[in-house]
Amino acid sequence: MGKEPEILLVIRRAILALLACAMLGACERAPEAPRVMAAAHDAIYVWPGVTPAPGTTAKTVYLLDGEVRSGPAPAALHRLRMGTPLLPGRTLWLVVRANRLDWTPATRPQVMASILADLEKWQAAGNTVAGLQIDFDAATRGIGNYAAFLKALRAALPRQWQLSITGLMDWSAHGDPQALAQLAGTVDEVVVQTYQNRTTIPGYEAYFARMARFPIPFRVALVEGGEWQAPAGLEAHPQFRGYVVFLLNGAQPPA
């Protein structure tokens, strides 16, 4: 009986300590990663309907120009931009979102003719156009087939235009080295996507830790307003070429 008040006192102190810890937000809480600000980077993705925030002065702009949509109809380029504005002081990449790769011998010439017409139109308007980017979510196990598709596309693309593609982080971890080597001989850069919809993919550090032997020049795509802390060694990678921020209307700056 004599020890009961002492035990109750210990319990009370423990409860008060836990409450204080919770109120102060200091209980085993990992620090939040910084938020991505487009104004802090020199390259951006701009999709139709998205307006860059004031203060965005990116020198490299990836513009979604059109889509090759899936469906029963033959492959064709569906244009998404009506105008061709002059963007002085910037280097442009025209992006084609590919939902299918069955550009048959009958449809490929027409699709490529449409793409080349757009590249030439943007350059004729006075813009500096780097080339074409294909935005396609190639599964890691399908890189070999994708490499064959890109090789045929590269053959149809005049050498004045560079060829860029988007890539998944999983390529670095589980991609076939031989297939990646084939891509290295075909494309000029890979833009590695680190987000899904509006959110940074958790655990991205582990993927980049396996990129030591990635054989292709690459950029890293970040989502505006998403969390990002550069993994150790990423920015010192010999193939690293910087970041591209995917713009979102209404993205909130960090508090």
Say if residue 12 is in the same domain as residue 70: no
Residue 79 lies in a domain: yes
DSSP 80-115: --------TT-EEEEEEEES-----TTTHHHHHHHH
The model carries a pTM of 0.84
CA distance 128 to 42: 16
Q: How many structural domains is the chain composed of?
A: 2
If asked whether residues 104 and 26 sit together in one domain, one would say no
**Is residue 93 exposed (0-12), middle (13-18) or buried (19+ Cβ within 10 Å)?**
buried
CATH number at residue 233: 3.20.20.80
pLDDT digits (tens, 9 = 90+) for 81-138: 988 999 999 999 999 999 999 998 899 999 999 999 999 999 999 999 999 999 998 8
Residue partners of 210: CB distance under 8 A and separation at least 6:
172, 173
Q: Are residues 240 and 119 in the same domain?
A: yes
Tell me the per-residue pLDDT of 39-62, one tens digit each, with 9 for 90 and over: 999 999 999 989 887 778 899 999
pLDDT over threshold 60, residue 15 = no
One domain, residues 174 and 97: yes
pLDDT band at 9 (very low <50, low <70, confident <90, very high): low
Same-domain check for residues 5 and 59: no
Are 21 and 40 contained in the same domain?
no
Q: Look at residue 210 and tell me if it is in a domain.
A: yes
- Is position 251 within any domain? no
**242 Ramachandran zone, left/alpha/beta (phi>0; psi -120 to 50):** left
Q: Which domain holds residue 154?
A: 36-246
Distance CA 83, CA 68 (A): 19
8 and 44 assigned to the same domain: no
Does residue 255 belong to any structural domain of this protein? no
Cα-based distances in Å from 127 to 56, 69, 84: 18, 27, 9
Q: Within this chain, do residues 9 and 50 fall inside the same structural domain, yes or no?
A: no
If asked whether residues 177 and 207 sit together in one domain, one would say yes
Residue 116 sits in the same domain as residue 210: yes
What's the CA gap between 64 and 42, in Å, rounded? 18
Q: Do both 231 and 158 map to the same domain?
A: yes
